[in-house]
A and B are shown apart, each in its own frame.
Chain A
Amino acid sequence: EADIYQTPRYLVIGTGKKITLECSQTMGHDKMYWYQQDPGMELHLIHYSYGVNSTEKGDLSSESTVSRIRTEHFPLTLESARPSHTSQYLCASRAEISYNEQFFGPGTRLTVL
Chain B
Amino acid sequence: GQQLNQSPQSMFIQEGEDVSMNCTSSSIFNTWLWYKQDPGEGPVLLIALYKAGELTSNGRLTAQFGITRKDSFLNISASIPSDVGIYFCAGQLFHDKIIFGKGTRLHILP
Contact = CB atoms under 8 A, between A and B. Distances in A.
B88 interface: yes
Given A106-B41, A107-B40, A43 B88 contact: yes
Contacts of A92: 42
Interface in B21-59: 30-31, 33, 35, 39-45, 48, 50
Interface residues on A, range: 20 to 34
Contacts of A98: 30, 94-95
Contacts of B95: 98
A106 B35 CA distance: 13
A104 to B, nearest CB: 4
Task: Describe A's contact surface by its main secondary structure.
Answer: loop
Contact of B43 (A6, A41, A59, A104): A104
B31 to A, nearest CB: 6
Interface stretch (B11-19, B60-68, B72-80, B99-107): B99-107
Interface in A42-96: 42-43, 45, 48, 59, 88, 90, 92, 94
Contacts, number: 49
B42 A101 contact: no
Interface residues on B, range: 20 to 34
A99 B88 CA distance: 18
A42 B100 contact: yes
Contact of B41 (A43, A101, A103, A107): A107
Contacts of B103: 41-42
Interface of A: 2, 6, 33, 39-43, 45, 48, 59, 88, 90, 92, 94, 98-99, 101-107, 109
14 contacts: A39-B39, A40-B86, A40-B105, A43-B88, A45-B97, A59-B1, A88-B40, A98-B30, A98-B95, A99-B50, A101-B33, A104-B44, A107-B41, A107-B42
